[in-house]
Amino acid sequence: MTTKNFKIGLSRQKLFWWLLIFLIFVSFSYLYLVNDLIFKAAARENLRRLGAQLTLDTTELENQYLTLMKTINLKQVYALGFEETNPDDATFATITLPHLALGLTDRP
């Protein structure tokens, strides 16, 4: 049985340049990815802070709403112009479509 050795057709100088180019590519890729990671982490932290601030604002508005709800009474409502109505006399707005709207008709 005989064995054959395969020679790589690269000289030491070519191998050195290929490895150097690969090293430079990997280094720039690493720097880009680390930089991107840092900026995304900072953006995520800003969004977290904004979310917390919006939660506080919402809570404050809910407290104001509940405080205002406690102050409303019938006397104040009538003073603002609201009137009590009879449910039998109530009329509600209805929407009627034109007969040719989107090809809809009253016919089955």
| 73-92 residue pLDDT tens | 888 888 888 888 777 777 77
pLDDT beyond 90 at 57: yes
- 68 lies in which domain range? 12-103
Question: pLDDT at position 18, please?
Answer: 92
Q: Is residue 69 part of a domain?
A: yes
Going by pLDDT thresholds of 50, 70 and 90, the confidence category of residue 105 is low
Q: Is residue 5 part of a domain?
A: no
Q: Is residue 95 part of a domain?
A: yes
Question: pLDDT at position 97, please?
Answer: 67
Q: Is residue 77 part of a domain?
A: yes
Q: Is residue 6 part of a domain?
A: no
Q: Is residue 1 part of a domain?
A: no
| 9-50 residue pLDDT tens | 678 888 899 999 999 999 999 999 999 999 999 999 999 999
**Ranges 37-41, 60-64, 97-101: which has the least confidence:** 97-101
SS (H, E, C) the chain: CCCCCCCCCCCHHHHHHHHHHHHHHHHHHHHHHHHHHHHHHHHHHHHHHHHHHHHHHHHHHHHHHHHHHHHCCHHHHHHCCCCCCCHHHCCCCCCCCCCCHHHCCCCC
